[in-house]
Amino acid sequence: MADSFDLLGLPRRPLLSEEEVGSAYRKLAGQLHPDQEGGNEFLFRELGEAAAILRDPARRLRELSNSPSRSQLPSKAAEFFPKIASVLQQADGLINKQSTASNALAKALLAAPLKQLSADLNSALYHLQEWKGSLDQDLVKIDSRWPEHDPDEIHALADSYAYAGRWETQLRERKLSLESLSG
């Protein structure tokens, strides 16, 4: 695939706003759409993938550093991991019990643990959002020094964003499953 920054005509920087990426994408997508005269399906798809990469801080930072994930757990992620893993495991177990509960008594006995699980999921999401806020601040700091940068700092930030995004998705999925069972 072509360089995402070049394809969208955007500067190679760690920090790009959703508006910058979206505007560049819409401008070019209108020209390259396969239904348009002179449109190009291959470039249109590449354009979509480039926009997706640049919208995601982890993928954008990896593209800037020209390297994949190092699969190394950043220190702050290592602090969060036991809490996130515990809440996810607890959620899976309770959601499974609730979905297989065959009578009203069995469901009633799960009400208190499910209520606590909901609070635990909300707490984990809150702390995760705080961490993502600090990652955003780190991204702004790196961008202010750009193009000077520490490659290890870029890798650690990309990995942190990747873990935060993955965990947020998992927590929100469990929260949705829990809400669908109780609703």
Residue 183: which pLDDT band, with cuts at 50, 70 and 90?
Answer: low
8-48 confidence digits (pLDDT tens): 999 999 999 999 999 999 999 988 888 888 888 999 999 99
- The average pLDDT across 149-178 equals 94
pLDDT band at 71 (very low <50, low <70, confident <90, very high): low
Q: What is the 3-state secondary structure (H, E, C) of 57-124?
A: HHHHHHHHHCCCCCCCCCHHHHHHHHHHHHHHHHHHHHHHHHHHCCCHHHHHHCHHHHHHHHHHHHHH
Q: For the chain, give the percent of residues with pLDDT over 70.
A: 97
- What percent of the chain shows pLDDT beyond 90? 80
Instruction: Determine the average pLDDT of the residues in 121-138.
Output: 97
Structural domains of the chain ordered from first start: 4-55 (1.10.287.110), 75-182 (1.20.58)
Sign, Cα dihedral of 114, 115, 120, 122: positive
pLDDT at 177 over 80: yes
Q: Once rounded to an integer, what is the mean pLDDT over residues 148-154?
A: 91
Contact indicator for 127, 164 with CB cutoff of 8 Å: no
- pLDDT tens digits along 97-122: 998 998 999 989 999 999 999 999 99
Helix (H) or strand (E) holding 4: helix 4-8
Please tell me what DSSP assigns to residue 36. Answer: S
The three state secondary structure string of 143-180 is HHHCCCCCHHHHHHHHHHHHHHHHHHHHHHHHHHHHHH
